[in-house]
Amino acid sequence: MTFAEFFAAYWWLMFPIFGMAMAFQGANQSAKRTRRALDLVKSYIDQGKEPPPEILKLALREEEDEYEVDGVRKTGSSKNSTAWSAVTFTALAAGFGVGYWYVQAEDYAFAFLIVTVTMAVLALGSLLILLFGRK
């Protein structure tokens, strides 16, 4: 198989791989931000000063993430949403896999296979983020 044939067959994999790379980079940036805030709090404590409450809030932030939608503050557990993403993508991969198994003799079966593999890659990415993401 030449590179051109390989790329023609699997070009679509660049999208889930890029998405997983961006999610990993986001988790890494968040961990760095929290580490920097903890270092800053530690320096305040070493000087005998009280750290500002904003820095304490950033440093002691749990898995709860706050965000704003249409002017309403909401909180959501990133761990919980990642777990649900993994479950959802796994279910979609299984469903489309069964669909592919039923229609594998048809001309359009490749579409089921493409969606199955894509959802499986996304499920694997969500699971890896859940397991190795920020604790």
Percent of the chain scored above 70 by pLDDT?
84
* Helix ranges restricted to H, 3-135: 3-10, 14-46, 53-59, 78-103, 109-132
Q: Among 41, 61, 81, where does a domain finish?
A: 61
Select the more confidently predicted residue: 96 or 53. Answer: 96
> What is the mean pLDDT of the segment spanning 9-32?
91
Mean residue pLDDT across the chain? 84
Question: What is the predicted pLDDT for the residue at 63?
Answer: 42
Q: How many folded domains does the chain comprise?
A: 2
Task: Work out the end-to-end distance of the chain between its first and last CA atoms, rounded to an integer number of angstroms.
Answer: 42
> In this structure, are 127 and 88 located in the same domain?
yes
> What is the mean pLDDT of the segment spanning 123-132?
90
> In this structure, are 86 and 122 located in the same domain?
yes
pLDDT digit string, tens, across residues 77-115: 566 788 888 999 999 999 999 999 999 989 999 999 999
Single-letter amino acid code for the residue at 87: V
> In this structure, are 34 and 73 located in the same domain?
no
